[in-house]
Each structure stands twice: as structure tokens, then as C-alpha cells.
Amino acid sequence: SNKDERAEYDYYLKHPEEAFYNKMRFYRRRYAPKTDARLVVFGFIAFVSVVQYFVKKRQHKMAVNYFKTYDKKFRLRVKEMATERLEQANLNGASMKNKKKAKKSSKEVLAKLEAEVTEELARNIDIEGGYKNPTFRDLLFCKVVILPYTIATYLMWHGDWTYRHSIKSEPYSDDEKIYLISRQLGTSSEALKANIPAEELEEMIERECWVRANLDRFQEEQMMRKHPGAYKRYKRWVKKTQ
């Protein structure tokens, strides 16, 4: 401001011997950035949020395309629904001429129905974890805005957890067990539920896999059961390295 500049100039007149200090104050004022730092931070967060949204949107689209192309259960469901609709359309034919025409073009109609059913089912695919459809709450801008609320909520949750389980020694609920298991695996509860079959997840709960030793034993047994060849190679490698 002009008032500050006047004060610096008066100081310069009173203390001409402090040439270096006076020059430093002059250049600092002359070349100091004129843009408000808050606007710079706001713009940076907004830019990152926009990029983050489009990246997550693209990842979600890739996951949906994977399901549409490679997931056997999804493709089977598409064929079943398309066939049912084709049969219904044939039953609704008003004359033999229409039925013959429908029979001739049944392959074309079935292909068209499969494409329609594929897009219909794809819109309802529920993908969790890192490939889920992004929402406003997933973006950096929203997380910064609600950061005080997030911290307060976490502190309240942590205090409640400590009181119930460390002081009162209450048993864990199933959701809390899943949360503890997901922490051991370095993922989220939602991703764990989405990627692990319900029967396998129940077995992990029964075997208390939130304890690291139990989880390691369970994973070793799963590897031995599902990939016996790879498990044998792994055991041979362990013996060689000991």
C-alpha cells in the first residue's frame, strides 16, 4: 500500500547507511507477486479436480468395457435376455408371413437385441473401488472443503472404537471384521466385498483373518488350492532362499 511505501521511504531517508537492507526492501516490494496466493491455491485445486474427474471417468469406462467384452457371466446374461426377448417377439407375430420373416432375420434381430441388452445392463453395473463411477465427493476440491468435518468425524469414530473395543472389550461386528481384514490387505471394505466371493469372505471372518498370522495361513491355503503348481514352485523357492 502507499502507506507502507511511504514508511519504507522515510526509513531510507533516516538510515542511508543501510543501503543493502533498503535495496532488499525495495526489490522485495517491486517484484513481489501481485496475485493473491489463495486464488492460486484455489485454481490449482480446481484444475486437479477436473483432471481427476476425467481420469476416473475414463477408468470407469474401461472397467465397464472389460465386463461387456470379457466377463463370462455378463455375456451369458446378455444372451439369455436377448433370446427371451426374441422369443417373445416371435410369439407376438400376427401371421405366418411375419414369423417366416422373423425367422429369416432372427440372427440380425438377435445381434441387435444383444447390443441393446448389453448397453442396458452396462448402465446398471455396480463397480466399486478405484474403478467406480466418480462422484463429486471423490474429487480433491470436495475433500478439501469437507476436511474439517472429515477430521472431526474420524476423531469421534476413533474415540468410539477405542472405548468399545479397547476399554469395554466388546466383540467386533461383521462389518468391523471386514474393515479390519481390508486394512490388513491394504484395501477398502467396499473393494473387498466387491472382489471377493461372499463364501470366501465368510470363511475369512470365521477364521479371524484380521489377525495377520491367520490371514497369511488362509492365503497360503487358497494359493495351494487354486494354484497348486505355482504353490509348489513357491515352496521350492522358499527352501532355496533359507
Residue 170: predicted pLDDT: 93
Gap between the terminal Cα atoms of the chain: 72
Residue 222: predicted pLDDT: 86
Say if CB 194 and CB 127 are below 8 A apart. Answer: yes
Question: How many beta carbons lie within 10 A of that of residue 118, not counting itself?
Answer: 19
**Residue written as cell 468395457?**
65
Residue 204 CA to residue 222 CA, distance in Å, equals 11
Orientation angle between helical segments 212-226 and 228-241, nearest 10 degrees:
120
All 3 cell numbers of residue 41?
Answer: 491455491
Q: What single DSSP character describes residue 139?
A: S
Say if CB 90 and CB 102 are below 8 A apart. Answer: yes
Cα torsion at 116, 122, 125, 131 (round to 10°)? 180
Single out the residue of 42, 68, 59 nearest to residue 124, CA to CA. Answer: 68
In tens digits, the chain (242 residues) has pLDDT values of 567 777 776 776 777 777 777 777 766 776 666 667 788 888 899 999 999 999 988 888 888 888 777 777 777 887 888 788 777 766 665 444 455 554 556 677 777 777 887 788 777 776 766 677 788 888 899 999 999 999 999 999 999 999 999 999 999 999 999 999 999 988 888 878 877 888 999 999 999 999 999 999 998 888 888 777 776 777 777 676 76
Task: Give the residue ranges of DSSP H helices in 128-211.
Answer: 140-145, 147-161, 174-185, 189-195, 198-206
Q: Which amino acid is at 140?
A: L
Residue 71: predicted pLDDT: 76
